[in-house]
Structure 1
Amino acid sequence: MNGKHEHQSSGPGKSSIIDDELVTALDALQPSEQRQKVSLFSQAYPSIVRAIARQVPQKEILATLSRNGLKLHPVRYREMLEAERKSRDQDGKTICCLSCGSEIVPQATTSMGSQFGRSDTDKVRA
């Protein structure tokens, strides 16, 4: 191969030659650190909710997240928890207990500082 890639452009029969260096550079681009954190948190969210439902202390959840590449201040953790809860509520996504299959319903975060509202225990729907 000559170091060039042929790609179809918007018009019929038109093509453009793209240098390997440009393709490699574009393929190597990564999202911002903040976007990576949001993505990792979103992936971990169901497990976080299940841990909260088991009454795992917030401090332990934050320590586990930190050990696994997601270091968050408690205030930022609660903000992300609330944002993810709202997003999933809007999308109709549910989280279920791995043991019994019941839906876990996270409560909204309040200024009191608990993980999901007035208590650290989530409601479970049978």
Structure 2
Amino acid sequence: MKASHQETVSEDLAIQQFIDQLDALQPCAQQQNTARFQKMYPAIERALSRKVSQKEVVSHLEKMDLKLSIGGFRAQLKAEQDRRKECGDVLPCSLCGSLLPHKSHTEKGSSLATAFNNKDLHK
């Protein structure tokens, strides 16, 4: 049996309404915050590499409607660092050219520490 033209049109309209409803859905607040953090991540890493305190960064993020505790900030930062590392999306430091985030200066193998240790200061 063939469906009537009217039934087909009615079904097409119902499907289109469903598609429109799906298109109108927005991500939850947490997903929006994650997306916002990802967009700001390069600037966050640059600030941290300049020794801006995490507390100060969190305070500025709050002004951008991204409310995070220090612990939440650290968790979000680590998650984004891991995600970018996995994707090969690394950032160079604008000051020294090494990859961000900088390793601890006391940690052996740190790009910045190595640069200072290898610098010929006897010239």
Taking structure 2 as the reference length, the TM-score comes to: 0.66
In structure 1, list runs of 5 or more residues that go unmatched.
1-5, 7-15, 109-115
Please, what TM-score do these two structures have when normalized by structure 1? 0.65
Report the aligned-residue RMSD: 3.1
5 Å-filtered alignment, 1:19-58, equals 19=14, 21-58=17-54
State the distance in 1 between where 2:101 and 2:26 align.
Answer: 32
Q: Answer with 1 or 2: which has the greater Rg.
A: 2
Q: How far apart, CA to CA, are the structure 2 residues paired with 1:118 and 1:86?
A: 22
**Residue 98 of structure 2 aligns with which residue?**
103
Query: Which residue does the alignment assign to 1:18?
Result: 13
Alignment identity in percent?
32
Runs of 4+ in 1 over 4 A off after TM superposition: 116-119, 122-126
Contact 1:50 1:104 in 2 (8 A): no
Q: What CA distance in whole angstroms lies between the structure 2 residues aligned with 1:107 and 1:87?
A: 16
The one-letter code matched in structure 1 to 2:56 is E
List per-residue Cα deviations over 1:94-119 (Å, max 9, x = no partner).
Answer: 1123466x1333257xxxxxxx7979
